[in-house]
Structure 1
Amino acid sequence: KVANTSATAASTGADLNGKAAQDAARQIRERLAACAAARHGGQAQDVRFANDKVHVSGRTLDFATLVGEAYLDRVQLWSDGFYATPGLSWDKDTMQGRPFYYFAYGAAVSEVIVDTLTGEWKLLRADILHDAGKSLNPAVDIGQVEGAFIQGMGWLTTEELVWHPGSGKLTTHAPSTYKIPTANDCPPVFNVQLFEGRNFEDSIHRSKAVGEPPLLLPFSVFFAIRDAVSAVGGHRVDPPLRAPATSEAILTAIGAVQRANAGG
């Protein structure tokens, strides 16, 4: 248990914990290298670790063998690590500084179909390219992007908060009253790729956080719906579509476009 540890919110889990783990591993490596040099000659800085082998002073040992030797030599085989993101600053009064270590980028294109009689809609296709730096695990990161996209789509289209007009109590308090997206809301064509490029900053293995940035990509869904509503008036009227773009909101926007187009 780590006392007073920070939350892994804001996509900091891999960035902070990963670099702290790297710091701890580096300390153990330095101890093992010093142990290998003391036992087998040479300098600690010349010891190499690769493919479960240890190369020291012209000899090659199994990694497990060196660990056993270090245990007998009473070398500490565990460690802890700490990491603080460097170079961050922010002045709330002047609104100047560097609040973020790096930025993640992404692009998405969505295709939707809208029923102009009911306001119902369906996502037919989404193509996404997201920047995860040098991904730590592409399969996990792609899953994160897919999940964030569908979550964000719900945020922008179906998840409408409703409060009681008298008591002010939130009435959409559970999945029974609050429409969240499901697997059925995933488009039949869902293409997700990771942008191939290392993080310019010294993050863990030059990766980038991917937990929350993709949440903004489904704005492409919202604007695809908005474009479809605009098509009702031949793209001559700016649709007054609000978010979340529920079927009711879409139908209201369609009506406004039709009236404006008719000159009413």
Structure 2
Amino acid sequence: SGADLNGKAVQNACIKIRERLAKLAAEISQSEAEQVQFEDSMVSTANGHSWTFPDLVQRAYMARVQLWDSGFYKTPEIHYDQVNHLGRPFFYYAYGAAVSEVAIDTLTGEMKVLRADILHDVGQSINPAIDIGQIEGGFVQGMGWLTTEELYWQPHGPHAGRLFTHAPSTYKIPTSVDIPHIFNVKLFNNQNQADTIYRSKAVGEPPFMLALSVFSAIRQAVQAAIPEKTPLVLNAPATAEEILRAIAIGRGQALAARPQAKM
């Protein structure tokens, strides 16, 4: 989103400066500003004149042509009717696909993500290394949301409603040991149809949802551990406790009541 918003504002300012430079080049060469070309660090006109870009900038400076500007950008074409739920809330969409492989321990409920393969749409990537890092981070964050990050509140008493899982000491976020041993990420390199910087796409949050493949894999693993065609009940986040509970229920075993937090 930084490239989308701030980048387009910078582009807006640069276009204004470029137009002034083109006008100067046209005046010097007695040609049309619309026919001035900026390419490969050169500036050329339709009637054969050319300068290096630094040379033209120096000429502009000496001619007291403004070489700075401000730019502004707001995302176009977005609107939404909150009452009728109609409109265009987003300028464009990003797409992705993920396949995950997990293993579960049917005696303890422990789960491990063995492998994840991701293909994600970033438009025409500006920096593939940063985009891949964002995808990996978003996916692992999503894994935490769906497998370990369970919230507990005090249900009764004078502190009813108090959140117990309020810090990393009580709220289990994923760490480096939770990253899949095999973790493949590829970019679907395809120009964004919307007018963005270099036709790229923002990639901060969309990969978060690809972790749904982990939860789906856990469901299939639990289903394989209980009698065939037995209805499966697995709640998110699929903690070790929840996985063990789902297996026990699926096998028709007696299950102790879920403990309640108390002060």
**Matching residue within 51, 60, 80 for 1:61:** 51
Deviation per CA, 1:38-59: give whole Å up to 9, x if none: 2233221111112222223413
Partner amino acid, structure 1, of 2:49:
R
- In 2, the alpha carbon distance for the partners of 1:137 and 1:157 equals 30
The 3-state SS of whatever aligns with 1:64 is helix
Aligned position for 1:213: 206
- Output the TM-score relative to the length of structure 1: 0.90
1:25 maps onto 2:18 in alignment: no
Aligned position for 2:124: 134
The number of aligned residues is 249
The 3-state SS of whatever aligns with 1:123 is strand
Give unmatched runs, 5+ long, in structure 2.
254-263
The 3-state SS of whatever aligns with 1:174 is coil
Aligned position for 2:258: none
**Matching residue within 235, 239, 248 for 1:255:** 248
1:102 to partner: Cα distance:
1.5
- Output the TM-score relative to the length of structure 2: 0.90
The 3-state SS of whatever aligns with 1:223 is helix
Partner amino acid, structure 2, of 1:72:
M
Larger CA deviation: 142-151 vs 65-74: 65-74
Deviation per CA, 1:22-43: give whole Å up to 9, x if none: 1111111111111222223322
- In 2, the alpha carbon distance for the partners of 1:145 and 1:230 equals 29
The 3-state SS of whatever aligns with 2:118 is strand
Aligned position for 1:192: 185
Q: Which aligned pairs between 1:76-225 and structure 2 lie closer than 5 A? A: 76-165=66-155, 166=157, 167=159, 168-225=161-218
- In 2, the alpha carbon distance for the partners of 1:96 and 1:235 equals 43
Deviation per CA, 1:179-222: give whole Å up to 9, x if none: 11112211111111111221122222222111111110000001
**Matching residue within 63, 82, 95 for 1:73:** 63
Aligned position for 1:7: none
Contact 2:227 2:250 in 1 (8 A): no
Aligned position for 1:43: 32
Larger CA deviation: 104-113 vs 162-171: 162-171
1:235 to partner: Cα distance:
4.1
Give unmatched runs, 5+ long, in structure 1.
1-11
Closer, same or farther in 2 for the Cα pair 1:238/1:196, shift >3 Å? farther
RMSD: 1.5
Regions of 4+ moved over 2 Å: none
Partner amino acid, structure 2, of 1:122:
K
1:241 maps onto 2:234 in alignment: yes
Identity among equivalent positions (%) equals 59
- In 2, the alpha carbon distance for the partners of 1:147 and 1:20 equals 27
Partner amino acid, structure 2, of 1:106:
G
1:135 to partner: Cα distance:
1.5
Aligned position for 1:9: none
- In 1, the alpha carbon distance for the partners of 2:118 and 2:71 equals 36
Aligned position for 2:256: none
1:234 to partner: Cα distance:
4.3
- In 2, the alpha carbon distance for the partners of 1:234 and 1:142 equals 40
- In 1, the alpha carbon distance for the partners of 2:30 and 2:230 equals 80
